[in-house]
Chain A
Amino acid sequence: MLAGRAPPGAADCCRRLLAATLRPLLCGLPLCWATARRAAGQWPSPGLRLPEAAEVERLVQQAQRGRASLHRFIACPQLARTVQRCLQSGTGPQPVLLEFAPGPGVLTRTLLNAGVKVVALESNSAFLPNLQSLENSLDGQLKVIYGDFFRLDPLVPGALKPPAMCSNKLFETIGVAAVPWMADVPVKVFGILPQKTERNMLWRLLFALYECNSIYKYGRVELNLFISEKEYKVLTAKPGEPRAYQALTVLWQLGCEIQLLHMEPWSSFVTNLKNGGLWIPKSVFLPNDHLCLVRLTPQQNLFTGGLKPTNATTFIFVVKQCLAKPKSRLTDRLHSWSLDDPGKLLRQLEIPRKAQARDLYPEDYKHLFEALQNSNLFIETWFHDEALESIRNINL
């Protein structure tokens, strides 16, 4: 599951190397080569100049006008290179890369220079002109869309006000059609989760994943996200680990293959704070010195058992209920849901009678849920209201 630790810390040398990355325009390659590559999703490098560190900061600060919440951006070219390599590290054909909140566009240019076809989804109108002029200077390798990845398909009535948008429209604009779940990854997504809504986003994505909604309607979309180290620790926790092993852990581990691509200290990123502060979130129990680039690839076999997009909300809810009090005994939990013989059920699943909620492996939860479904005892509609409520709390 882990890709091993990538060498962190490109920040120090970033300024020195900046000049070196400025490259002359490359246009001497033969045309046929270019089209062939283009067909394979690989474009010739347009040889774009990367903005300098000071310029990035100025750009970010300008965009701060109005009241934007805290965002982080990649400013250092070397970090951008590292990320670009990480993103291209997978095997097989390279699908379109959707980069959300590119901001000053350092990574975008790096990716373009590496010949990747990029769709930039930007919600801050201050960054748009810059990106759009870049789009216009290129021959379709970059597509810029005004929209907010974090406000895709919100649960509100009526017409959506941009930058909130509907995933249908997004995918239509990109030109990607839905593929079956078992097929290859249709789109790659890259972005940095904003700190304040990080956990909320992880939950929202999880609901979308399990319900095959929103972006997951189009297949197993691969997410490449920078998340804080503490959340990474949560996602990859093992059963029994105090504090780290949570409902989020179980659900993400079941839902996706989780790969660590890279770890980078917080200081390597530029924030849009006025004083340029780093504002590293506090963490008491878990280490939190880095942002972690993780790849979340949905499992092909997610819906092969009794779990279906239709009953997935209930499943999520069951897991949340169980792990709301991680040290409680599973039998007690099941008992309080009107199951009069939870012991028998657990025996079938070979789960010890005294097992605590936090001792169960993610797979155990899946089996448990499938068993509950089959047992005919389980009336999922009870949970319906509550489950619905929790969706609402997350999706607003």
Chain B
Amino acid sequence: MSVLRLRAALGPARLRGPGISWSVLRNYSSASAKEKASRSGVCERTELLEVLKARVKQLQASHIQEVTLNKGELAPLGNDKFQEPLWKAVAPGPMGEQPGPQGGDEKLAWPSGWADKLKKEMHIRQLKVERRLSIAAAQLAPGGQAKKKPKVKAKGKTKTKDKAKDKAKDKARESLKSPESLKSSGSLKSPESLKSPGSLKSPESLKSPESLKSPNSPKSPKAKVVAAWSQSHTVPRIIYPHGKPRVLTVKEVAKPPRPQRRAKDSSQDKVLQQTMHSNLECFLFLQKPEEAERFLLLYHSSPAKKRLLDVNAYNIVMRCWARQGNLKRVNLLFSMLEAMGLRPSLDSYAAVLECMGRVPPSTKAVHRCVQQLKHDGFHVDELFQKCLFEEDEKEMVLKAIRIVQPEYQLPPPPSPQTCTSSLLQDFYSKEKMVSYPKLDFSVQELQERFQQQLEMELDNTVTIESVESTKPLNPQAGKARELLATLRSQWHDSLLQALQKSKHSMARLTTGSGHNTLYPYLCLLPDEEYVAIMLQILNSLSPQGESLAVLARELGNKIYDRHVMQRKLRSRQLEQVQEIYQGYIQLLARDSQPHQYLPREYWEKLVADAGFGPSLNLRDCSWPYVLLMRLGMHMLELLVRATKVPRNILNPRLEPKLIPVLYHIYSFHSSGQVGLIKPHPIFSQIMSDAAEATLTFNSSAIPMLCPPVPWISPNFGAFVLNDTKLMRFVDGAVQHQLLLEQCPPVNLHPVLDALNQLGNCAWKINQPVLDIIISIFNDKGNEKLDIPPPVSEAPKPPTSPSGSTGSKTQKHELLLYKKKVAEMHSLRMDALYKLSIANYIRDKVFWFPHNMDFRGRTYPCPPYFNHLGNDVTRAILLFAEGRPLGPKGLDWLKIHLVNLTGLKKKNALQERLEYANEIMEEILDSADRPLTGRRWWMDTDEPWQTLACCMEIAKASRSPDPAAYVSHFPIHQDGSCNGLQHYAALGRDLIGAISVNLMPCSVPQDVYSAVAQQVEEFRKKDAEQGVRIAQVLQGFINRKVVKQTVMTVVYGVTRYGGRLQMEKRLKEIDGFPEEYLWEASQYLVKQVFNSIKEMFSATRDIQNWLTESAKLIAQSGRTVEWVTPLGLPIVQPYYRSKATVLNCGMQHLSVKTFYTNQKPDTVKQKNAFPPNFIHSLDSTHMMLTALHCLRQGLTFVSVHDCYWTHALTVDVMNQICRQQFVALHSEKILQDLSKFMLETYCSPDRETRALWQKKLMEQLSNVPETGEFNLQKVMDSTYFFS
């Protein structure tokens, strides 16, 4: 409190120069805006400041050099080179850098000398400057001189104080930084010393460290800076803690070179900072404020680590204390934070107010606090609009506010914003708003389903019956299951013991050093849960073993997920979600009023109505990847060490001895070695004998039993409790999340709404088909029908399995056998998971929440069973909602059937329909007697979907009125070579457009045949001219040879890759002379590229333009970023990977780390840009189609470029799909891209003289020309999507 009072007393007069408003100093972003305006006036001042800073640094360095001579232990401190070793050396003891008391006098001597020297120079310089500079600078001068006087006085005082302090220091070292000792030891940092008027005369100088912070410093008058520095140096106690950050800032300002070094530092800093934050968050979660504060002080008092501290770190600790209602501690931290020169943030005030709400102090105190909050440019309303409160924090803050403003009301929620994208004007226009389509459920039913889902997620794992369990149980299995049960309970006990032991030993260790330890992370969950997680890993381990890194990551992630769930429970987030969801159901249920809202809008409205503010979003607390791995490794080590099995368990003749269940082994590959964890064969044997009838999954692996929570923000949506990211990314990559968070929320609305639309599609199981599949699965499988047979069906192993003596061929056979078995095992398990999940939800209606990859392509979240799966999984999925077939529905079913067979690809739709009618008998036979009849369906491209379709046709055609038959069957419409379609539309390529069906044609065009034809023409010409290889290739060029290459051209295949594909195809052709393989493939790939160039002339130009642009961007050290027409920001996450080596007990683990300022991988950035860009367009097209289908009340889902809907609505969907394609490509996509990239990469305030910059600008502005294809033609093209 005292500090607050003090600060309040000082008021606005403190640091401000004349004419510079508080908000400028306070708010970095507004400062930078303002800066532009007043640049001319300020820059000279800034210059001066820089000169001075540089000089300060010089003096500092030279002085420390002097000290080096007589005091070795002090030497490395100021020296850049030694920063890192020092850091380590200092780390263990916060006081380590302090010289012994006997060195006190010597130490006292030099800072004053230093300051004198500086003062003299300052004076001279100032005189010079005064003469030279403008009036503005001159104005500042008196202030500076005035400030120097108190400084000298302060020096005199501190000399006497120092002796006392030396004593205090010793004491402090013993008392090991407990919060209590803070008062005595850190006297200068603590409010007491700040309060005591004797210690420092000038109140200004107290605040002075603040002016050191670079964001503000350019603004602050130079003299103050000097005063601050010299002042701090008269006080040896804070020389070192303050020394380091200052040297760094100065270096940044005064010495621009060495960017590499800086980048490295800051990326390291970033991970250290993240680790520190998550550690502090842990303490907050554990409600251990003492620990948190001790940890913070560890950083606070270490000169090397101090620079890692930011305002958030203090905020977390303040919240810790606030929760306990310890206002004294909170104030202390608040003052520490200010003394560090950090600017209190909104959260800092929230913490103080929360604490005041808990333990109401005098009204005056609250008043002052609110006053100061306003001084700092914040508003009370902002507290409730921006802060993410947990538990009862909000109520407490409100309580505190109402002490001073009894009438205070929560601010009204911000009015919802609407997306302004031209593509979606219709969609979002309020006039045309229609009510959201209803589900066939009552409110009551949906509520029950939500409860089920919630319970499932609360349980964390779901144990379901395996489809194999219907097999009869043999006695051996019964025995093995019993054995396994006993073993598991033993393992459970020993794991628990091991965990507790390791925690115990860590806890002892922690009290000493307190950093870089996993201890807090081992306390987050109940011990039992850690054990359960470990046992879960053990159960799912494949007999072939698994790489250490994969297991560690899995363990780490599981713990993290579990912790996030706990936080959601604890922070009352779940309660709020539950409450909102109850209202949300009203939008979907059939027995509720229609609402003209989108799910997201409705949810936001409900949140606003309930006055929850932003707190449904959980405060971000993601753990650094390195930490996840470390934690996982620790768990894994416990698991390997603690689980044992008697080795005579299967062979009683052996003497009893416990041996580990898991063992660690290296596998050697051409490039290095990979650590594996393998289960002991005994364990694998027991597991396979037991053939357990249940499978355990994470609850997020099961489709949702209620409509998913709509996506509201990048951090909120999908499952009720399970943490789901809006964007999938590689482990450790942080760029996407950052980008999404920086993006204005309204820009994300279209994407979020599209994902919500896809996720809201309800599904059910096609039970008859599922039953047939399971019967085959439980019989012997069928490789032809893609039902993997059990491993027992594998061909017998070759003889002499012990075999190191066997001949080479035997060895080879054995290798093949092992490989085959491993493959079969994984295929079988995959199918088992899928079928078991499908079987588990066979009577239920379920939903697939969706998220997307970094290009915006959408995916269902549950990993095993979803509609993106293979033929088998797609065949057992039906829309839960049924629609009558309507007049054309049956025809669509038949056409769809023919499409699935792959038989009449080149024929018109009418011909396909006629063909279906011709073979009606076969269709009905397949439907009626799938396994006993003529089995026509088995010989098709997609046999299971064909069968399902046969059954649907049979039912529909036999119903009295097929048009009224209610069908749940999804009809697919596929884009024909969708990538090339987008390219052809981008470039308006006429010939290209025809060949990929953008132009209306009576029969579908086949781009592969067209290319093959073109290649053949080229070949003929060459052959006539006597080119040998062209003659050799006569009669070998066909659709099949070129197909793969043409297809992958879109995805940026290179000549090299294309040649390899060609070689493969040619090898498959019987009778192709082998000696010509290389030459022929080389020739062919050249001709294919030429043909594509001929047909899609603009396409290649665009591709080259994209590639070249990406190359130049990457070479300039930036990553390629763009924004889709729907406003989704995209960044390519390809960086030159830097591996951090984790030194874990069992093995060193090399972990790839990503940071924002990493160097991009030029080759990947360049090669991947064209395909990624095209994918971002196709995903945009899909989302546009999805959104507009929603407006028309259609059921719509997609598998990338394959769109699904009911038979009734196929025609409507087709029309929308074409409309949206035309609308999308009517946008100036490439021009917009060029504009965006020019803005991003060639902004005028960056260095423009550089050659690369010019080149880049030229490249980016030079958008390729387009052809004369009339885009509107797409509207009438039947085979565009078919």
Contacts and interface: CB of A to CB of B under 8 A. Distances in A.
A379 B660 CA distance: 13
A393 B669 contact: yes
B102 interface: no
Contact of B815 (A213, A309, A379, A388): A388
Contact of B668 (A320, A336, A338, A385): A320
Interface in A337-396: 337-338, 340, 379, 381-393
A324 B804 contact: no
Contact of B667 (A157, A382, A386): A386
A311 B804 contact: yes
B640 A157 contact: no
A308 B658 CA distance: 29
A393 B668 contact: yes
Nearest to B1147: A325
Interface string A308-332: 0111111000001100110000000
A286 interface: no
A213 B815 CA distance: 18
Contacts of B659: 338, 340
Nearest to A315: B804
A325 B815 contact: no
A321 B665 contact: yes
Contact of A155 (B666, B668, B805, B808): B808
A156 interface: yes
A211 interface: yes
Contacts of A211: 804-805
B1148 A381 contact: no
A135 interface: no
Nearest to B674: A324
B663 A337 contact: yes
Given A155-B808, A311-B804, A382 B666 contact: no
Interface string B1145-1158: 01110000000000
Contacts, number: 79
Contacts of A312: 804
Interface string B1108-1138: 0000000000000000000000000000000
A232 to B, nearest CB: 22
Interface string A282-326: 000000000000000000000000000111111000001100110
Contacts of B664: 336
B818 A388 contact: yes
Contacts of B802: 381, 384
Given A309-B805, A310-B804, A338-B680, 12 more contacts: A157-B812, A314-B804, A320-B668, A337-B663, A337-B665, A340-B659, A379-B681, A382-B680, A382-B681, A384-B802, A389-B667, A390-B667
Interface of A: 153, 155-157, 211, 213, 309-314, 320-321, 324-325, 335-338, 340, 379, 381-393
A317 B48 CA distance: 68
Nearest to A320: B668
Contacts of B667: 386, 389-390
Interface in B46-68: none
Given A314-B804, A321-B666, A324-B666, A391 B811 contact: yes
B657 interface: yes
A153 B658 CA distance: 43
Interface of B: 544, 640, 647, 657-660, 663-670, 673, 676, 678, 680-681, 802-805, 808-809, 811-816, 818, 1146-1148
A383 B1148 CA distance: 22
Ordered nearest first, which 10 A-B pairs have the shortest CB separation?
A338-B659, A324-B666, A313-B804, A336-B664, A390-B668, A310-B805, A324-B673, A336-B663, A338-B660, A155-B812
A335 B812 CA distance: 32
A390 to B, nearest CB: 5
A106 to B, nearest CB: 31
Given A313-B804, A325-B1148, A340 B657 contact: yes
Contacts of B665: 321, 336-337, 383, 386
24 contacts: A157-B813, A157-B816, A213-B808, A309-B804, A311-B804, A313-B804, A320-B666, A320-B668, A321-B665, A325-B1147, A336-B664, A336-B665, A338-B659, A340-B658, A379-B681, A381-B681, A383-B665, A385-B544, A385-B818, A388-B811, A388-B814, A388-B815, A393-B668, A393-B669
Contacts of A335: 660
A381 B804 CA distance: 10
- Which one of A211, A383, A386 has the greatest number of beta carbons of chain B within 10 Å? A386
A155 B808 CA distance: 6
Contacts of B808: 153, 155, 213
Contacts of A153: 808
Contacts of B668: 320, 324, 389-390, 393
A312 B804 CA distance: 8
Contacts of B815: 155, 388-389, 392
A336 B639 CA distance: 12
A153 B667 CA distance: 23
Interface centre among B664, B673, B804, B812 (most CB of A within 10 A): B804
A211 B676 CA distance: 26
Contacts of B809: 157
Contact of A393 (B658, B670, B680, B803): B670
A310 B805 CA distance: 5
A156 B640 CA distance: 37
Given A324-B673, A391-B811, A393-B669, A338 B804 contact: no
Nearest to B666: A324
A363 B317 CA distance: 59
B811 to A, nearest CB: 6
A389 B665 CA distance: 13
Nearest to A341: B657
Nearest to A339: B659
A336 B677 CA distance: 10
A338 B816 CA distance: 28
Which of B658, B673, B811, B816 has the largest number of chain A CB atoms within 10 A? B811
B647 to A, nearest CB: 8
Nearest to B815: A392
Contacts of A391: 811
A309 B806 CA distance: 11
Nearest to A387: B804
A381 B814 CA distance: 14
Nearest to A213: B808
Contacts of A389: 667-668, 815
B894 to A, nearest CB: 47
Given A157-B809, A325-B1147, A382-B681, A336 B804 contact: no
Nearest to B678: A382
